[in-house]
Amino acid sequence: MALNGQVAVVTGAAMGIGRAITEILLQNGAKVALIDVDEIAGRSLLEILEKQFGSDRVLFLSCDVESEEKLKVAFQKIAETFGGVDIFCNNAGILNEIQWQKTISINLVSAISGNYLALEHMSRQNGGRGGIGPLPSCPVYTASKHGLLGFTRAMAAASRASGYGVRVNALCPSFVQTELFSSGPSRLGQFAHLADEAAQFAEKIGILTVGEVAEAFLELATDETKNGEALLLLPKRKQYVTFPSFL
């Protein structure tokens, strides 16, 4: 199996895309630490996964990624339990144009602090084993994801230049059938009048399943040639985005 013996950490793992990524990682031999703020959904998934994959391969940590302190403790516990971290999937995110500060806080600020914490555990310079850190993909929501993309590319370059041995990539799916997607229209705030247009657009380009996103994640996680890439995933198209380069 492609990921035998590797240790993965997935944030927002209790449902949706995070859950599908967790499952595909386990199916491919990895040990997985699930982080989620929803303790009930997290514990209930843990029970299912323990039966399927064995209790020595899964760990659930109830943690709000907005708290850097709690996230730090969670990483410590994961390192103690599994002996290190090889793959970090920075997936937790919300779509909420009403509480827009929270959207930036979780989607961008917490994703950055999660990435830094993961790097502390993964960098070869700190005795880590190297690895990867893909990040995923309404104006504020979009801004949070664009910020993350810039951060991903710069971190990949910094990792390369510093010899961390850590790859950092972004997985950018279009619409995916999850709770975030179906509750999207009620969270658009001052842009609620654009919900129908968004729904028509979603219908036109199609809606991905979480399984399709998980497959693409596995591709990024296992292709060691990829660093600083953004993999765009649509129902009928999958391609690496080309950015202008000054070098």
Ligand X SMILES: NC(=O)C1=CN([C@@H]2O[C@H](COP(=O)(O)OP(=O)(O)OC[C@H]3O[C@@H](n4cnc5c(N)ncnc54)[C@H](O)[C@@H]3O)[C@@H](O)[C@H]2O)C=CC1
Which residues are known catalytic residues?
141
- Say which entry of ligand LZSIJSXV, ligand X, none residue 199 contacts (CB below 5 to 8 A, set by partner kind): ligand LZSIJSXV
- Least distance CB 53 / ligand X (angstroms): 19
| Three-state DSSP state, 11 | strand
Binding flags for ligand X, 28-57, as an x/- string (CB under 6 A): --------xxx--x----------------
Q: Select 164 or 221, whichever has its Cβ closest to ligand X.
A: 221
Euclidean distance between the first and the last CA atom of the chain, given in angstroms as a whole number: 38
Q: Identify how many contiguous H helices and E strands the chain contains and give both numbers.
A: 9, 9
Residues 156 and 243 sit within 8 Å (Cβ to Cβ): no
Closest by CA to 125, choosing from 88, 98, 92, 158, is: 158
Q: Select 95 or 119, whichever has its Cβ closest to ligand LZSIJSXV.
A: 95
Q: Select 110 or 123, whichever has its Cβ closest to ligand X.
A: 110
Residue 172 DSSP code: E
Interface stretch with ligand X, choices 52-60, 85-93, 121-129, 223-231 (CB under 6 A): 85-93
By the rule CB under 6 A, 133 interacts with ligand X: no
**How many CA atoms within 13 Å lie on the side-chain side of 6?**
25
Sign of the CA dihedral running 21, 22, 27, 28: positive
Q: Which residues bind ligand X (CB under 6 A)?
A: 11-12, 14-18, 36-38, 41, 64-66, 91-94, 106, 136-137, 173, 175-176, 178-181
